Amino acid sequence: MTSERMQSGSTAESHDPVREYAAALCDDALTAEQARHLAELLNGSNDARVRFVEYLFLHGELHWGLAATLPSQAGAVRSVPSMGDVSPASCGAAAALLPMSEGGVAGRVARRRGAGGRRGLRAVVGALLTAAVAVILAVVLVGSWRSIDVHPAEPSARIVETFGAVWDGDAAPELGQPLDPKQWWTLASGLAKVETPAGATFIVEGPARWAAAGSNHLRLAVGGVSAEVPHAARGFCVETPTARVIDEGTSFGVRVEPDGLSEVHVFVGRVAVVAGSTDVPTLILDEGRSIAWLPSQRDRLARLPLAPANEDRFARTMPSASSGSVARLRQAMLEHPRLIHLFSFEAVDSSACLQDAKGDLHLHRIVMSGGDGGGSLRTRVRGRDPTSRGVRFYRASRDGDRVGVGLVSERTFVPPTEMTIELVARFDAQPRAAGGIFSAVATRSSRKQCGFLVTAVDDGRLAHLFDADSPWTMPPGDPFWRPLIGTTGDWHYLCVRLEQEDANTRVSSFAANLTQGERSLRCLVNSVLMTGHAASGPLAVGCGFADDLTHAYPWAGVIDELAIYDVALATEILQRHLDLLWSAPRSTVIP
């Protein structure tokens, strides 16, 4: 009976391409062009889908019926050719194409054939096997359609521009190529600008770990991102570990710190912040406002205080190729053959960012003998520009020389006979008229033998000391000299050049206030012969040592980059390094 029905159906519809293609599929003879045409027919007609599934049911029933009558050849029945692994998504697509419920296509086929016939156990089993064959064949067909791109994947976001980008991992994303939605990227430093198919653009600031999870969806595990979303791309979503930020055609920034602290700043328009698994907005954040929360505060997000939005926390535009940056300076440092130690503080991991990028003089956190006073050292804070990160040290407002948090090397640092120390640093404290010591780089081996290599003292002058029984060496206080620290919070490019001569050291120091736009080096100390040498011992960064060798004199502010060379770099080289922080070079050294 089954064969008669198939024969009559074939005669009545001998020119039905759906059945012809179904037959070719069952015979493993369906070409790519036929599969494409079949997909178009099935997508365009519900009746075509019913005829297609009916044929598969009939074919499967005949297949199993013949297998039952020929038990000796049951093992020789040819299986459906493999199309590779079937993903859950493929199975989902097959289920959508062939719903096996009573009201689905398969159910309609069963009713069309009549449900009142004689059904024994064998018939029930046969029907179930027939359904299984149909589903398997449909899954194979779906896999075939995907292999020939009948239904292309959702468009992917693309990186359209980078600046100073350094990527962690075995592979880096290619400029202009689609980003795999399942791939997480780690941008160690620099910037990457991404465009989504929906029209949104966002700039990722390293160090960051992120994934372009869809055509209008960004996942941000750690790092910072600023987004510009036109009206056509409304609904762009930034998903963090504790919330989702959904825009409404706006400009905003999101930052996630390694400790889980999250921030949202709205520059234009407004965004919805959704905490937890619900789709109901927890908070509507309007233009000019920001909010920050820890993971433990997610459930009471709507009750947290708001603050003004801070655009300076984010890179909202990409620098030009000729723009200066800390990233360009860092690259020049790394390329110099006499570099022996580099602390760039760029890694995503809070411990890895304290590693020596050139040698093995790795750093660890140290609390002053007087305690931390309730403060803490913070890694991965924003550096002088968006291409860099730094470490912010802690110094107590009272008894600051003894209370704070800094860094010290795990190994002994032996200063070479010639040495240049180069750093980019910010000073955040208000210097006192006298008595304050703020150490950025120092060593010490005894009460007498010390090495205050880069230190701000008194009213903010850059000072040096190698013999504790000798006076500080610092720039003179005449009217033509300007203090190192002009305004609290200024960024500075600092250089100290040391050359040992017998029992003494010849010192030259230079500075440029980056915040105030200085593009030429100022010579602060010009080839002054000082008593003693820089002592061997642990290298202190962001602090120093008291005469009893306890840690003291913490720096108040941020250190972005710190490089140490085993040569006295020429002033012209230092000026070229300073030029890398600006787009237009200058060549003058102010005496």
Q: How many CB atoms lie within 10 A of CB 524?
A: 24
Domains 158-313 and 326-471+493-590 fall in the same CATH topology: yes
What is residue 123's predicted lDDT score, i.e. its pLDDT?
47
> What pLDDT sits at residue 15?
65
> Residue 371 has which token pair?
């305690």
Give the angle 92-97-98 at the CA atoms, nearest 5°: 95
Task: Dump pLDDT digits (tens) for 290-345.
Answer: 999 999 998 889 899 999 999 888 889 888 767 788 988 999 999 999 999 999 99
Please say if the pLDDT value at position 246 is more than 50: yes
Q: What is the mean pLDDT of residues 399-426?
A: 95
Higher pLDDT, 202 or 139: 202
pLDDT of residue 370: 62
| Strands, E assignment, 374-533 | 378-382, 389-392, 394-395, 404-413, 418-427, 437-444, 449-457, 461-467, 490-501, 504-513, 521-531
Q: What is the band of 70 on the pLDDT scale with cuts at 50, 70, 90? A: very low
Given a cut of 90, is residue 227 above it in pLDDT? yes
Q: 157 pLDDT exceeds 70? A: yes
Lowest-confidence region among 7-11, 374-378, 438-442, 553-557? 7-11
CA angle, corner 237, sides to 235 and 240, nearest 5?
Answer: 160
Q: Residue 106: pLDDT above 70?
A: no
Measured in degrees and rounded to the nearest 5, phi and psi for residue 543 equal -165, -175
Token reading at 153:
């994947």
pLDDT at residue 76 is higher than 80 = no
Confidence label for 33 from pLDDT (cuts 50, 70 and 90) = confident
What is the chain's alpha carbon radius of gyration, rounded to the nearest angstrom? 35
With both helix axes pointing from N to C terminus, report the angle between 105-113 and 121-147 in degrees, rounded to the nearest 10: 140
Alpha carbon 57 to its chain's center:
51
The pTM assigned to this predicted structure is: 0.62
pLDDT at 288 over 80: yes
pLDDT for 497 beyond 70: yes
What is the per-residue pLDDT for 587? 37
Q: Which of 590, 551, 553, 550 is nearest to 571 (CA)?
A: 590
Q: Is the dihedral of CA 210, 215, 217, 223 positive or negative?
A: positive
pLDDT, residue 333, reads 97
Is the preceding omega at residue 207 within 30 degrees of 0, hence cis? Answer: yes
To which residue do tokens 């039952």 refer?
68
Whether domain 326-471+493-590 has CATH 2.60.120: the reply is yes
162: nearest Cα among 189, 199, 197 = 189
Tell me the pairing of strands 217-228 and 237-239.
parallel
Amino acid letter at 270? Answer: R
**CATH 2.60.120.1440 fits domain 158-313:** yes
Which residue type is seen at 197? P
pLDDT score, position 372 = 54
* Alpha-carbon separation of residue 525 from 14, 440, 471, 484 (angstroms): 99, 17, 14, 12
**Residue 573 parent element (H or E):** helix 571-579
Phi (first) and psi of residue 184, to 5 degrees: -95, 140
User: What's the N-to-C CA distance of the chain in angstroms?
Assistant: 107
- Helix, strand, coil fractions of the chain, as percent rounded to 5: 25, 35, 40
Predicted pLDDT at 321:
67
Helices (H) and strands (E) in the chain, counts: 9, 30
C-beta of residue 507 within 8 angstroms of C-beta of residue 497: yes
Q: Is it the case that residue 67 has pLDDT exceeding 90? A: no
Residue closest to 160 by CA, chosen among 125, 130, 186, 195: 195
pLDDT of residue 373: 56
**Residue 63: DSSP 8-state:** H
Distance CA 499, CA 419 (A): 7
Going from N- to C-terminal start, the domains of the chain cover 2-147, 158-313, 326-471+493-590
The mean of the pLDDT values for the chain is: 78
If one compares 321 and 438, the residue with the highest pLDDT of the two is 438
